[in-house]
Amino acid sequence: MEIKDILHPDCTLCAVQGTSKKRVLELISQIANQHLIDVDIDQATILSSLTCREKMGSTGIGNGIALPHGRLQELENVMAIVLTSKKPIDYDAIDNAPVDIFFAILVPEDKASEHLGTLSAIATKLNNKDTLSLMRQAKTDQELFEALG
């Protein structure tokens, strides 16, 4: 799986004004809702899916990275949203470090095995120091998108 198979350039935002975990999840759900025009999923449902997963344990994986994710019954294809924040925020990450890279995925409810494979591919990509450096140096949404190529 290539990241660009699930990530649209319009779902990549650089240097957002995220001030809290809740605000970042709200922004992710808002972006997803704007791009899911062919599917009847409202922003509240998307946000609920993301926050329910966070209640089971933080998706902050360390090194300033979070992988928020959720499952949606009405969704047909995996969708990704990538954000970087101007200032790192407290996200209850496993290393207790603040987070500035948010790679969110939304997956169809009935594709759980694909979901794990997608998370694994993303984690591998984000384990690359060059990729992380390019993401953190990005000044525009397009540069951030290209950093994941």
Q: CA-CA distance, 71 to 49, in Å (whole number)?
A: 6
Q: CA-CA distance, 43 to 30, in Å (whole number)?
A: 6
Residues in the chain: 149
Q: Which of 8, 35, 69, 115 is labelled catalytic?
A: 69
Is 35 labeled as catalytic in the residue annotation?
Answer: no
Which residues carry out catalysis?
69
